[in-house]
Copies of this chain bind each other. A is one copy, B any other.
Amino acid sequence: MADNGKKLVEQITSMDEDFAKWYTDVVKKADLIDYSSVKGCMIIRPYGYAIWENIQKILDTRFKETGVENVYMPMFIPESLLTKEKEHVEGFAPEVAWVTHGGSERLAERLCVRPTSETLFCEHYANIIKSYRDLPKIYNQWCSVVRWEKTTRPFLRSREFLWQEGHTMHRTAEEAEARTVQMLNVYADFFEKDLAMPVIKGQKTDKEKFAGAKATYTVEALMHDGKALQGGTSHNFGSGFAEAFGIQFLDSDNKLKHCYQTSWGVSTRIIGGIIMTHGDDSGLVLPPSVAPIQVVVIPVQQHKEGVLDAARALADTLKAAGVRVKIDDSEQSPGWKFSEYEMKGVPLRIEIGPRDIAEGKCVIVRRDNREKSFVAVDNIVNEVAAGLENLTKALFEKALRHREERTYTAKTLDELVSIAGEKEGYIKAMWCGELDCEMKLKEEADVTSRCMPFEGDAVSDTCVCCGRAAKKLVYWGKAY
């Protein structure tokens, strides 16, 4: 076993040696993606897509519990429609793909492949919203979008990616604000409870907010290498788009008013975040909520009488209890199998051999810490449930500790520059609110503002950059 195990593990670069290479190795060796001849786009393979399906199932259920309805909008946006809201088009026009021909004919107007669908939703809402009775509208779509990025990386930045985009319309500014926060909380909850990824909730600075939004809220996660990942965002648009698109309703006071709007989204980026938060030098480590295989059963000395039967019975019991279980009874050695399912991040491995069977027991091995426990086969459903729950908790706690250890505080520019030069992680520092200071920190320390957190005490009274009175606490860092 040791030999075979070692052999596979050696196939990937170690995290500490080259984190970027480790990441690429994992996405390939764990069979998450493949490249194609379409530059900057990736193929999401069955094991990777199954993670996305699990993410979709959980989020879609949560969305619907809050009244969300799914729709499907066209993937094309006429150029004239995209340009209707000024800030929005400035944000997206430089990075869209343009369709100019249909069959052999040149189109009268160019169409872009949606980079996001605010404009289409707005046009539709303008058609269907007439009265306050039509509000709110809480629509979402699951689709793919295209942004013509120059540098790409699987899951983190690709020219096409899968996501969901919610777009809602409300009667009042307060209701829109409440929905913006509500959806951010749905995301935060999903990251922390399901994905075991601790997040900082906060607001983006004007420089970092979404093109056309009044306010952008974000959940930011810290990766193993100390870089930040924007996990999901929720935007309050105020009535800006509604004014540009003429989305008006007759209120109960008989006055015509503009709607208030939100949008919010997460993408297949999440998968990149899971890999870089929980993964280790043996490969993926998947939180059970989204793991395509939660438990792998590996028969030991499988040719001995009764072993395969016992392993299959175990797998059947778990399957009947709703566990996503796989039994690997192939001719590969147990050692090869151990390494293979470690690479694939399967949360629990069950080993069962002749001696275990004689004792009515089996061995459960946890993926995260390789802790072994001998448990009674009769109690396997409870043991597995507890094992999965404990693993989720342990992943969360480990990631939280990691973040705390890599969160620094700076009170002066020198201090910040020095931390940014030596450490990877968040730097908490106060900010006056001026763009100049934000730009200067980028220039001198190569950090950007991740968010102005909703929670957290001031670390000083003055801006870390200019020394004037501070308005906001900001998490600064390097980001994916």
Is A49 in contact with B76, judged by CB distance below 8 angstroms? no
A99 and B113 in contact, given A38-B77, A43-B124 (Cβ under 8 angstroms): yes
* A162 lies within 8 A of chain B by Cβ: yes
Given A43-B124, A99-B99, A124-B43, A36:B104 Cβ within 8 A:
no
Q: Given A97-B102, A103-B96, answer yes or no on A76-B160 (Cβ-Cβ < 8 Å).
A: yes
Q: Is A467 in the interface zone, CB < 8 Å from B?
A: no
Q: Report which of B81, B96, B104 forms a contact with A37, defined as CB distance below 8 A.
A: B81
By beta carbon, the residue of chain B nearest A76 is B38
Residues A36 and B102 in contact, CB atoms below 8 Å apart = no
Residues of chain B within 8 A (CB-CB) of A93 are 103
Contact with B along A333-346 (1 / 0, CB 8 A): 00000000000000
A407 → chain B closest CB, angstroms: 36
Q: Contact check, B34 vs A127: say whether CB atoms are below 8 A apart.
A: yes
A111–B37 Cα distance when bound, in Å, is 11
Bound complex: CA A371 to CA B143 (Å): 41
Q: Which residues of B contact A77 (CB under 8 A)?
A: 38
> For the complex, is A45 an interface residue (Cβ under 8 Å from B)?
yes
Which of the segments A66-74, A431-439, A448-456, A458-466 contacts the partner chain?
A66-74
A120 vs B38: C-alpha distance when bound (angstroms): 9
- Apart from A44-B72, A97-B111, A113-B113: 19 A-B pairs, beta carbons within 8 A: A34-B124, A36-B124, A38-B76, A38-B77, A38-B78, A41-B74, A41-B75, A41-B76, A43-B124, A49-B70, A49-B72, A72-B144, A75-B160, A93-B103, A95-B103, A97-B101, A97-B102, A99-B99, A100-B101
Q: What 4 A-B pairs are tightest by C-beta distance, nearest first?
A: A41-B74, A46-B69, A102-B148, A44-B72
| 23 A-B residue pairings within 8 Å (CB atoms) | A34-B124, A34-B128, A36-B74, A38-B74, A38-B78, A38-B120, A43-B74, A44-B72, A45-B71, A49-B69, A49-B72, A53-B70, A72-B144, A75-B75, A75-B144, A75-B160, A94-B103, A96-B102, A97-B101, A99-B100, A103-B148, A113-B113, A143-B144
